[in-house]
Structure 1
Amino acid sequence: MVDRYNSLRFGASQSSTTVIDTASHRVLRNTYMLLALTLGFSALVAGASAALRLPHPGILITLLGYFGLLYLVNKNRDSGLGVAFVFALTGFMGYTLGPIISHYLKLPNGGQIVMMALGGTAAIFMSLSAYVLVSRRDFSFMGGFLAVGVLVAFLAGLGALLFSIPALSLTVSAVFVLLMSGMILYETSNIIHGGETNYVMATVTLFVSIFNLFTSLLQLLGFASSND
């Protein structure tokens, strides 16, 4: 009788674990599918923006557009409209990226700089994601540190931009490479451990991490190239 009870209890526990794993797998799959689509869409918009030589919208419009669309994504995160706003957000970010890429392409070895930044971003994202997926380590302890770090780095970046402090800007870029790498670890871990159950928000978090990682590497590589 005891053996039968233990068997039933073990079976129920195993079934519960399977459901959690299946749910996490579904969120992970949907996140990566939407992430791939939005990265492709954003790249197309960025390419068009660069080819047409569209001007950068400026820091004020960029911030208003980003946070405004981010608010709409979050508000509609549980509906199909949320996916539409994700494409609007990532498309807008692609548009702001176009003039930045154009700037670096005009530098000596500009094409190489852009490709190195792109390759570095892909390598970092894939290796960190693979590490979390294989090791199953829980990086939830990094949440508070990353939130504070991103806020401080964001404010420092604004200060560097407004007061034209190149050294501070480069330092912020280096810090952002580390913070965005940590964010990729944290969010991927959050998905597989059931902490993030909404693939729309997971996609936005990973997309923004990749975007900031790429632009930070661009600035660092561009500076290194200019000092060769």
Structure 2
Amino acid sequence: MPSVIRTFAFSLAIAFLGTMAGVFVPPALFMPLAILEFVMLMIAFFVRRKKAMSYSFLYLFTFISGITLYPIVAYYLATSGANVVIMAFASTTVVFSGIAIYAAKSKQNFSFLGGFLLAALLSLVAISIFNIFFPLSSTGMLAYSFIGVLVFSGYVLFDISRMKQYGVRAEEVPLMALNLYLDFINLFISILRIFGILNSKD
């Protein structure tokens, strides 16, 4: 597990560099990059049973993910200020670390959460698609974001517990690190959205 945590931390650092690089990316390229990111994610999860993910694939994905995160961060920097973004990142780090430590120390196996979390994740995806065509109110978006925090906190619990219970082979490290990276980023986006909405109501 320590190697997974190190790889996850390095992935976050690379994503941060990607977000910084996003300043120089033309707006027209963000959609193609987002599509590429989605395709890479599908490849990672559908090919995982046949072939181990490489570290280079993981770091390329997290760099691209960092770039596509830039418009979201830039939006909240412009509308809510740097303090809101910094608070959201700090809160995400505290929540993620707290749940990860609890899952690692707990004697309980949280692998049973997998089915519930997948159903909740699919519901979030469906609501996000619905939101494109029929935008939610700020209250609706706040509720959606709180559910997102619960779901991705659950995934942190699930992923850490699964690694503790079943172990991680050397070739599985990049995929496990990717799982934690996705948990962290989605948790961060949900918390950032909450802070942004609450800040706009002040």
Q: TM-score, normalised by structure 1?
A: 0.79
Structure 1 CA distance for aligned equivalents of residues 152 and 48 of structure 2? 25
Q: Which range moved further: 146-155 or 190-199?
A: 190-199
Tell me the TM-score normalized by structure 2: 0.88
The within-5 A match list for 1:46-125 is 46-49=19-22, 51-52=23-24, 54-55=26-27, 57-58=30-31, 62=34, 64-74=35-45, 75=47, 78-79=51-52, 82-108=54-80, 110-125=81-96
The equivalent residue for 2:178 is 204
- Structure 1 position 171, deviation (Å): 2.4
Q: Residue 209 of structure 1 aligns to which amino acid in structure 2?
A: D
Unpaired runs of at least 5, structure 2: none
Which whole-Å CA distance do the structure 1 matches of 2:56 and 2:161 have between them? 26
1:145 to 112, 116, 126: 116
Task: Judge conservation of contact 1:31–1:203 (CA < 8 Å) in 2.
Answer: yes
Please list the CA deviations of residues 79-135 of structure 1 after superposition, one character each: whole Å capped at 9, or x if unmatched.
4x6221111211111111111111111124x11100110001100111011111222
Query: What SS does the aligned partner of 2:30 have?
Result: coil
For 2:148, give the aligned amino acid. Answer: F
* Structure of larger gyration radius: 1
Unaligned residue ranges in structure 1 (runs of 5+): 1-27
Q: Give the drift of 1:47.
A: 1.7
The aligned runs of 1:16-31 (5 Å cut-off) are 28-31=1-4
Aligned residues of 1:160 and 1:166 also touching (Cα < 8 A): no
1:137 is displaced (CA, Å) by 2.2
How far apart, in 2, do the equivalents of 1:132 and 1:76 lie?
Answer: 24
Aligned residues: percent identity? 27
Distance 2:164 2:180 in 1: 14
- 1:218 matched to 2:192? The reply is yes
Task: Name the count of aligned residue pairs.
Answer: 196
